[in-house]
Structure 1
Amino acid sequence: MKISELVEALALEVKASGDLEEEISGVVVGDLLSFIMAKGQPGWAWITIQSHVNVAAVAVLRDMPLIVVASGRPVDDDLVDRCSQEGVTLAYSPLSAYVLSGKIYGLGLTEGS
């Protein structure tokens, strides 16, 4: 599934655009950066409530092209700027990580699908 398709299906608000035509091959959900560094895979989307600049560094380290900040958490301007610089798509949703995960699963995208 392309990032643009996921953004549309979930009605996400894009804060920083990377390559919206890039394919997402899996999803990881978590807020502990060390967990994401261990479990996140290249090409996966990451759902989190963290919104500080270090999130971009982890996404770049693991080559994850999409970060979704969930639960209506405010998104730091520093994170938006860093994602723009690094070519990582950053999106926002008022929905919880739980609800987003369920919707994504319903679209047929699973961890490492």
Structure 2
Amino acid sequence: MTIRELAEKLGAEILHEEFADTPVMGAYTSDLLSDVMANAREGGVLITIQAHKNTIAVATLVNVTAVIVCNTRPVPEDMLDAAREEGIAVLRTKDNQFTVSGKVYNLLSAKTE
């Protein structure tokens, strides 16, 4: 499944299209960036409410392909600029992390069955 397909199924907004065709290999949900560094996996998406450029710096360290910002939180331009530079897609959704995590789990599990 690509980031674009995932966004469509979640009803999420893709905030920049450059990396929308990148495959999604998993997901991790956390708002604690040190936890993300320790546990997120390469090729996955990060589900969070952390909407700032440090989120992108951490996502880069673990090679996350996309950050999904929940609760319709505002995403600052410097975060989007950093994401473009690092090759990371940014999505935004009205749903909370719990709901998004469940949906992503179901979507990715269906692809592997």
Q: Same fold (TM over 0.5)?
A: yes
Q: Distance in 1 between matches of 2:74 and 2:109?
A: 26
Contact 2:26 2:108 in 1 (8 A): no
Aligned positions, number: 111
- Residue in 1 that maps onto 2:104: 104
State the percentage of identical aligned residues.
35
Offset of 1:103 from its aligned partner?
1.2
- Deviations along 1:25-64, one digit per CA (max 9) or x if unpaired, are 1100000000000001110100000001101101111110
Which runs of no fewer than 5 residues in structure 2 stay unpaired? none
AA at the equivalent of 2:47: I
- Residue in 2 that maps onto 1:65: 65
Q: What CA RMSD, in Å, does the superposition of the two structures yield over aligned residues? A: 1.7
Q: Which has the higher helix share?
A: 2
Q: Distance in 1 between matches of 2:109 and 2:22?
A: 14
Q: Which runs of 4+ in 1 moved over 3 A?
A: none
Q: TM-score, normalised by structure 1?
A: 0.90
Secondary structure of 1:34 counterpart: helix
Aligned 1:1-113 pairs, distance under 5 A: 1-109=1-109
